[in-house]
Chains A and B, each alone.
Chain A
Amino acid sequence: MAILKEIRFHGRGGQGVVTAANLLAMSYFNVGKYVQSFPIFGTERRGAPVASFVRVDDKPIRIRTQIYEPDVVVVLDSGVAEVVDVTKGLKKNGVIIMNTKKNPDEIKLGNRVATIDATNIAIKHRLGSTQAPIVNTAILGAYTKAVEQFGLEKLSLSSVVNTVRENVPAKPEENAAAVKEAYESTVF
């Protein structure tokens, strides 16, 4: 069980939380891992807090429950953290990656926190509208940097960039550029 890693995504319906989880799973799959990715089922109402899950392992994944004790929590919308306990069940030494303009010290969620202004990056690369930017690819760049920094299940930036480029429904180059920019500008 040592290798199994469990990741929980938080965000709002319509932000691409499920897609973020799927793209992360595919990125790990593309470097030879077994993966499982699934949403909190049936609650994807636009604007409502939603969650999605990813499991990563070196062997086929049998367990089918929701994730209660994640190794990593990824928050696409910092406002959700005000209404949902995003750290619930987070393992000791667990890592949090949050989309916010603030730095990790300001959000006071422990010392294994990475922040990224994914909203700004998404707007800059014209992903979604300025009112509703699609931050799900930028956040994956920050995820990649954070797991590298904190020594978790590593993922190469090129795997994420290629997976994003090949699987997003639109603007493949803009999304790939957002991943790269987020990777470079993640704050610890």
Chain B
Amino acid sequence: MVKKVIEGQQAIATGVKLCRPKVIASYPITPSTHVPEMLSKFVANGELEAGFINVESEHSAISACIGAQATGVRTFTATASQGLALMHEVLYIAAGMRLPIVMSVANRALSAPINIWCDNNDSMAERDTGWLQFYCENAQEAIDLIIQAYKIAENKEVLLPAMVIIDAYNLTHTMEVVDVPSQEDVDKFQPPYKPVYAYLDPDRPITQGSFGTPEYYMEFKYSQQRAMENAKKVIDDVFEEFEKIFGRKYEKVECYKTSDAEIILLCLGSMSGTAKEAVDRLREKGIKVGLAKITVFRPFPEEVVEVTKNARVLAILDRNISLGYTGVLRTEVASAFVNLSKRPLIANFIVGLGGRDVTLEDFYEIVERKIPEFKKTKRLVEWINVKGGA
């Protein structure tokens, strides 16, 4: 391993290179463009032995990955925001065909109004497509989770595509210190891709992307659901193996100072780092607060209940909004508590849409002012730092 100062997109591209995909198809979009740019350079200068397909849209990029992966090779694509939305219908096909494609997503707000900055609505909208979803706090997690995503996705008990998701700008364009794993260690961890079922072989003809009549369609979906269930254990195993080789520990839900916490903040992505700082500073004032950070969002990490159930208040911070209801994390996490009689009060705060900075003050405002208010009002959802008041 060697420490380098690199940006989040470079961490993604480097992680992908270390996993030796054979086909990359991608269409540039801010703030994900550096990823294909760097990968195309690796291919051009011979550092990465792969085909790089220039496509005319994101719809084509994911379609090309499906075609390539179905021949029996490891593939990669990268996108963000409108690009991910344009892929939408094809994402289901990648998952339904059980092709373990890995894609990086730069979390960027959706238009209108046009905005190139960070929020999670783009990837949250793909929650139901059958893709695994991993959210990164920093560039180190970006490179590490790319490497682990391939191994989890390709496990024969899983065989599902995976998104590794990094916040626009806060991660994509921020230079920071990253421990870059060696090719030797990654090769040890990540053997060459061996397709399990889906590959083209004239001696073993198979049908891929077939018609699914009412007699069988449900069984296909049931098998995908079982694969998601299987992924829970596979993720734990892969995280453990990764820690043994690389020394960094990953968990589906990372807990920071939660064991005695009366208030637990819950969020994902880059704001988790700021949240940890806020937790430390609030604890200096004697407030028992902790953080639960979601790293794996699909399959849904039910562990979240166990690690947060003893808090008085669970404050869920959503950098997204399901318009007409609440943040997406809130609906997901709250539903996990539905059959328990003892559970924390669940508050929901909408923060940082369209790249608005999520500051330490926002966390202090939530913990010191909004939560005491919430205990009385039990408001379903509250918007933080909105002009004109919320």
Contact = CB atoms under 8 A, between A and B. Distances in A.
Interface stretch (A58-66, A83-91, A113-121, A151-159): A58-66
A38 B274 contact: no
Contact of B175 (A37, A65, A66): A37
Contact of B177 (A22, A34, A38, A42): A34
B9 to A, nearest CB: 12
A39 B5 CA distance: 15
A38 B361 CA distance: 20
Contacts of A62: 138, 273-274, 276-277
A80 to B, nearest CB: 21
A65 B360 contact: yes
Contact of A38 (B30, B173, B358, B360): B173
Contact of A39 (B138, B173, B276, B277): B173
Interface size class of A (residues with CB under 8 A): 20 to 34
B289 to A, nearest CB: 15
B81 interface: no
Contacts of A34: 176-177
Contacts of A35: 5, 175-177
Interface string B1-43: 0010100000000000000000000000011000000000000
B359 interface: yes
A66 B357 contact: yes
A63 B274 contact: yes
A146 interface: no
Interface residues of B, number: 26
A108 to B, nearest CB: 31
Interface string B258-301: 00000000000011011011000000000000000000000000
Nearest to A32: B3
Given A36-B175, A42-B117, A65 B359 contact: yes
A72 B31 CA distance: 28
A64 B5 contact: no
A29 B5 contact: yes
B38 to A, nearest CB: 15
Contacts of A63: 273-274, 277, 360
Contacts of B173: 38-39, 41
Interface string A31-72: 000111111011000000000000000001111111010000
B82 interface: no
B250 interface: no
A25 to B, nearest CB: 6
A65 B361 CA distance: 10
Given A35-B5, A41-B355, A64 B270 contact: yes
B102 interface: no
A186 to B, nearest CB: 25
Contacts of A25: 5, 175
A137 B106 CA distance: 31
Contacts of A41: 116-117, 168-169, 173, 355
A94 B174 CA distance: 24
B274 A29 contact: no
**Which 9 A-B residue pairings sit nearest by Cβ, starting from the closest?**
A62-B273, A41-B169, A38-B174, A37-B175, A64-B270, A65-B359, A63-B277, A64-B274, A29-B5
Given A26-B175, A37-B174, A41-B173, 11 more contacts: A22-B175, A29-B5, A35-B177, A37-B176, A41-B117, A41-B168, A42-B31, A62-B277, A64-B174, A64-B274, A65-B357
Interface of B: 3, 5, 30-31, 116-117, 138, 168-170, 173-177, 270-271, 273-274, 276-277, 355, 357-360
12 contacts: A22-B5, A36-B176, A39-B173, A41-B116, A42-B31, A60-B177, A62-B273, A62-B277, A63-B274, A63-B360, A64-B271, A64-B274
